[in-house]
Every structure is written in structure tokens, then in C-alpha cells.
A and B are shown apart, each in its own frame.
Chain A
């Protein structure tokens, strides 16, 4: 019996995982969400920015991370447009170009933000740290035009923005090592304030930077996105998905516990 339980076909586990996602997707629930300090810090920082400030939002991720990072990008954009904070969108990842431009456009349409006045999407340039350092001297030396080909000099919100000196905050939406690169080059050399929204895989490695203040806030994966939506009182995919996620986590935790019970019982028998 025990051996059978240990040798269960992995496809049965796959079916259980699918069911744990499908059932709550069809029958959604709404559990209370507690907000962590790093998420609140970023939210409060943006809230405290005076109207007319400019922030930079870096879409440094590809489709493999959109489930976690798109909800937080939407929430951040909504907050900025509602607060009259201007947004410069850029990306260090080629795949981030299409996603970033579509997302900004989508939220701008919802909130009535105007291209060139409330936001601008600059697009992508290869070279990561070279791009970051280049913008530190002069943004136009790296991005002569925005993604639509309009010269930066002709964009109203960019007339007074030359480099990081006029940018209040950089938020890096990251699925790889880009946050460390932003910290190493933009924060250290140009004193640019940095916050991050990251995928689950890299949450843990961000904490040393949070403690030193090299990151002023952190949104952690889909849980962080749900927390941000809670703070804005604007429920969307983040809250919906973290509730569904609850059941899958319960299932996986249950599988770990059952697997270990079976393991210990078997080991005792063998002894």
C-alpha cells in the first residue's frame, strides 16, 4: 500500500494540480490579503511624490514572466497616472518592447493618460549596463527617439528631462539579473532611487539590497501584485490569481507532507 503510494504515476499528480487550478478558477473566492512592508514602502513612496514628478518604469522581462509582472505593471501605471506622476517606459529585454508598449497603451486608454504628456515609451536598446550608464549622462544619447520614432526633443514631458537627475524613481520589473545591474550602475554612480517588482524566483536575493536602502521598495511576485492591488483598492488579476494559487500551494504542501510521512514509515519498517 505504502509502496504504491510512493510510486504513484506522476500524471496523477499533474491531474491534481490542474484540478487545483481549474476548480477555483471556475468558482472564485476572495480571501483577505495582508500587505507586506516592502510593498507598502513602494506604494507610499509613489504616493508621496509631488504631481508632475517623473519616474522610469523598466519592463525587463519576457512572456515567461508576464503572469507575475504584468499585474504589478498595471497597478503601478494606474497609481502613477491617477497621481499625475509621469512615466518613462523602457526595456533592457527585447521581448519587453511589445509587452511594455501594449501595457502602457492599455492603462493609458483606461485612465485617459496622454502619450507624450503623461507617459512616453522609449523602447529597447541592447547593451544593458551600457544603456543604463549612457542614460545617466544623457537619455537622448541612447534613445534619440521614442518607440514610435518621435524625437525626444519634440515630446513635451521630455523637454525638462535630460538624465537621471530629473527622475524621482526607477522601478525595475525584473525576471533576471537586471535589478542588480540597475543598482550597480544607476544607483551607485548616479544616485538614482530604485525599487523593484520581481518574479518569485528572484525575490529572496533582493532582500540584502532592501535592507541597505539600495532598493526603496519591493513587489514580490504575484503575491506582491495582489498586495499592491489591495493597497490601491483596485482588484484585478493579482488578487484573483493569488486566491487560486492558495489551493495549489495547499496541494503541494500536502504532497510534501504525505511524501514524508510515507518515507518515514517505510524507513522505520526497513529498520
Chain B
């Protein structure tokens, strides 16, 4: 009941949905559309899992008085602030939109922009041509970096003006992206997709059960 029924449900829903992809018959398409609408209804409830886990984690932090536990109250305040305005009045309420634009947007954008500094620092300290492979990576990165910005081509067209080839840096960047980069990425896509398909088959057949979690 606790493990067998979910495994059967997973198998039945999986096989049914897979078969509907091969048959254009109206009966098959009817089942496909109904199951799809069921899944669409179920998926918003998943939100409960993430929110509960986050709240439980921070309640535990406060209880155990771990380092910086006081800041967990700020998380609760943030959630509460958005929920108290957003749930009764909706996401288009001017205060909710104001909070999104002036609190969430600047923090989200700034948080990720910090990486620009750390990339620059890491590029100086750790980006070394120690081996042939590392040199390939480094040279490609430099070409793509300079080929992406107009000053790269300006430099090429000015300093190497004798060459019968304009915009050499951006052209080389494009060639790299179109050829060796494409081959490597395609290899990765093929490998990852084969892995994803075999994992899906293992899930349907009940060989992979980690999604059921621990316990009975």
C-alpha cells in the first residue's frame, strides 16, 4: 500500500502517456488530454513541499540557535509580507508589484551580478595554461570573450588592417560556436538524453525508486 501502489500508479500513468504519443486515435488523444489536465491540476500542489521544507529548516535553525539563526526571522517576514498582500489582493495589486520591482528585482539582479567580480578575480588567479587542454580552454575563452564585444573587431580591423579579412575575432568566435563547440555540445546532449531515457525507463519499471523517499 505504501510503496506498491505508488509504483503501480507510476507504471500505469507512464505507460499510458507513452502509448498516447504513438496513436492519433481520438480515444487515445482523449485519455492523453484528460491525464494532462489531471497533472496540470496536481502540479500546483507541489508548491507545498518546497515551502514546508524551507519553513521546517528555518524553524529548526531557530530552535537550535545555530549561527545567524536570528536572520531566519527575516525569511519569515519576507514570506509573510508577500503572502499577506498577494494572497487576498492578487499579484497585480500595486503594493505587491511595488515590492517585486523594488525589493525582489534589485536583490535578485545584484546577487547574480556579484559573480562578475568573482569571475574576474578567478580569471586572474586560477585561469592558467598549465596543460594542453587548459590552454585550449583558455584560448577559446579569450577569443569568445573578445569576439562578443565590438572592441574586439575594432582592434582586429585597426591593428590587423593589412589582412584581407574584416571582423576576424567575431567570425572566429562564430566558427568556434558553429563547429567544435557544436560537436562537443551534441556529444553531451546525446549522452545526457540517453541517460535521461534509461532513467525514465528504470523509474517506470520500478527499478529506480529514490523518488519514493525513505521509510516503509
> Does A pair with B?
yes
Closest B residue by C-beta to A211: B182
Instruction: Please tell me the number of chain A residues within 8 Å of chain B, measured between CB atoms.
Output: 65
Contact status B108-A252, CB under 8 Å: no
Closest CB in chain B relative to A223 CB, distance in Å: 5
Contact status A62-B108, CB under 8 Å: yes
Contact status A242-B150, CB under 8 Å: yes
Interface residues on B, range: 35 or more
Which chain B positions have C-beta within 8 A of A102? 101
Contact status A249-B146, CB under 8 Å: yes
- Does B205 belong to the interface (CB within 8 Å)? no
Closest CB in chain A relative to B204 CB, distance in Å: 16
Which chain A positions have C-beta within 8 A of B37? 134, 141
1/0 per residue, CB under 8 A from B, across A201-233: the answer is: 001110110010000000011010010000000
Contact status B36-A32, CB under 8 Å: no
- Does B148 belong to the interface (CB within 8 Å)? yes
Known: A31-B154, A98-B101, A260-B128. A245 touches B177 (CB 8 A): no
Known: A34-B167, A64-B109. A251 touches B128 (CB 8 A): no
- Does B16 belong to the interface (CB within 8 Å)? no
Contact status A98-B91, CB under 8 Å: yes
Contact status A134-B36, CB under 8 Å: yes
User: Which 3 pairs between the two chains have the least Cβ-Cβ distance?
Assistant: A246-B151, A31-B150, A63-B108
Instruction: Report B's interface with A, CB cutoff 8 A.
Output: 21, 29, 33, 36-37, 39-40, 43-44, 46-47, 91-92, 97, 100-101, 104-106, 108-109, 111-113, 116-117, 119-121, 123-125, 127-129, 138, 141-142, 145-146, 148-154, 167, 170, 174, 177-178, 181-182, 185-186, 188-189
30 contacts between A and B (CB under 8 A): A13-B124, A14-B121, A63-B104, A63-B106, A67-B113, A95-B108, A98-B97, A127-B40, A130-B40, A133-B36, A137-B36, A141-B33, A148-B92, A189-B21, A204-B177, A207-B177, A207-B181, A208-B182, A211-B178, A223-B149, A243-B150, A246-B149, A248-B116, A249-B149, A250-B149, A250-B151, A252-B145, A253-B145, A256-B123, A256-B127
